[in-house]
Amino acid sequence: MIEISHVNKWYGPTFQVLKDCTTSVAKGEVVVVCGPSGSGKSTLIKCVNALEPFQEGQIILDGIKVNDPKTDLPKLRARVGMVFQHFELFPHLRIIENLCLAQEKVLGRSHGEAVAKGEKLLERVGLTVQANKYPAELSGGQQQRVAIARALAMDPIAMLFDEPTSALDPEMISEVLDVMVDLAHEGMTMMVVTHEMGFASKVANRVIFMDRGEIVEDALKTDFFGSPRSERAQKFLSKILSH
């Protein structure tokens, strides 16, 4: 589904943020990307739907080359859902409008269809009553659930999560993770940048560990948590699991 091969990316002439990154996410697979801050994991996931350009290598998404200048990027992006660290709901639109806008403008669905789909997804994330409120009236956890619903409304073939719980208060993390776990159990293809190792050990198929722009480790979940080979991964794990 997602094929990342030999991706190199620089900011400016000298600062390399991604170094020869190669990995893949198969259909129905859940891959968790972790690593210390500044390791390039968010940058890598943003390269997948071309929100970030990269200079070398290639990424193929469902058979379409992302970094081909001829690729219709809006069309490609519409097929992959993305959830951001800071939710990025549209503050000037009501919740239901947040869910409908792209359905109507990008997929060309009628307003009635879009609303029906939006309401179904709001029910799924448990926020039916909030449909007519504005994002600022919702808690962080609720906003992130809306953001997930907004992405799902496009019937994506895969979902990208960029630190979806990092900006949340601790008591709201689980309500977002629950939605993600359900999604994983339904067989959604997911690439998730997160520090939530509980989530990783529960639903991930594979765990990728990144450090300083490199993919240091790319292992099955059991191998990763059982016996990470690299010293850097061991250090990272001991740090985030010790408290």
Partner 1 sequence: MFGNLDFDVIRRSLPYLFLDGMSFTLMLTGLSALGGLVFGTMIALMRLSSYRLMGRIAGLYVDFMRSLPLVLVIFWFYFLVPYIGQWVTGASRPIRVGAFTSSLVTFIMFEAAYFSEIMRAGIQSISRGQPAAASALGLTYAQSMRYIVLPQAFRNMLPVLLTQTIVLFQDTSLVYVLSIPDFLGAASKVAQRDGRLVEMYLFAALVYFAISCLASYGVRRLQARIAIVR
Q: Which stretch binds partner 1 (CB under 8 A): 26-34, 101-109, 192-200, 223-231?
A: 101-109
- Residue span 162-201 as binding mask against partner 1, x where in contact by CB under 8 A, dash where not: ----------------------------------------
What is the rounded distance in angstroms from the CA atom of residue 177 to the CA atom of residue 163? 11
Residue 173 dihedral angles phi and psi, to the nearest 5° = -65, -40
CB count within 10 Å of CB 19 equals 16
Sheet with 30-34, strands from edge to edge, namely 80-83, 158-162, 190-193, 30-34, 206-211, 214-220
What is the rounded distance in angstroms from the CA atom of residue 51 to the CA atom of residue 44? 10
What is the rounded distance in angstroms from the CA atom of residue 14 to the CA atom of residue 84? 28
Q: Which three-class secondary structure state does DSSP give residue 233? A: helix
**89-128 residues labelled b (16+ CB within 10 A) or e (exposed):** beeeebbbbbbbbbbeeeeebeeeebbebbbebbebbebe
What residues pair up with 56 in beta bridges, in sequence order? 8
Nearer to partner 1, 77 or 232 (CB): 77
Does the footprint of partner 1 cover residue 75 (CB under 8 A)? Answer: yes
Among residue numbers 139 through 168, which ones bind partner 1 (CB under 8 A)?
A: 150-151, 154
Number of residues that bind partner 1 (CB under 8 A): 27
The least CB distance from residue 124 to partner 1, in Å, is: 18
The least CB distance from residue 59 to partner 1, in Å, is: 15
Binding residue for partner 1 (CB under 8 A) from 79, 120, 202, 212? 79
Does the footprint of partner 1 cover residue 84 (CB under 8 A)? Answer: yes
Nearer to partner 1, 95 or 200 (CB): 95
Nearer to partner 1, 107 or 237 (CB): 107
CB count within 10 Å of CB 80 equals 23
The least CB distance from residue 118 to partner 1, in Å, is: 13
- Residue span 49-68 as binding mask against partner 1, x where in contact by CB under 8 A, dash where not: x-x-----------------
The least CB distance from residue 137 to partner 1, in Å, is: 10
Where does this chain bind partner 1 (CB under 8 A)?
49, 51, 73-75, 77-82, 84, 86, 88-92, 101-102, 105-107, 136, 150-151, 154
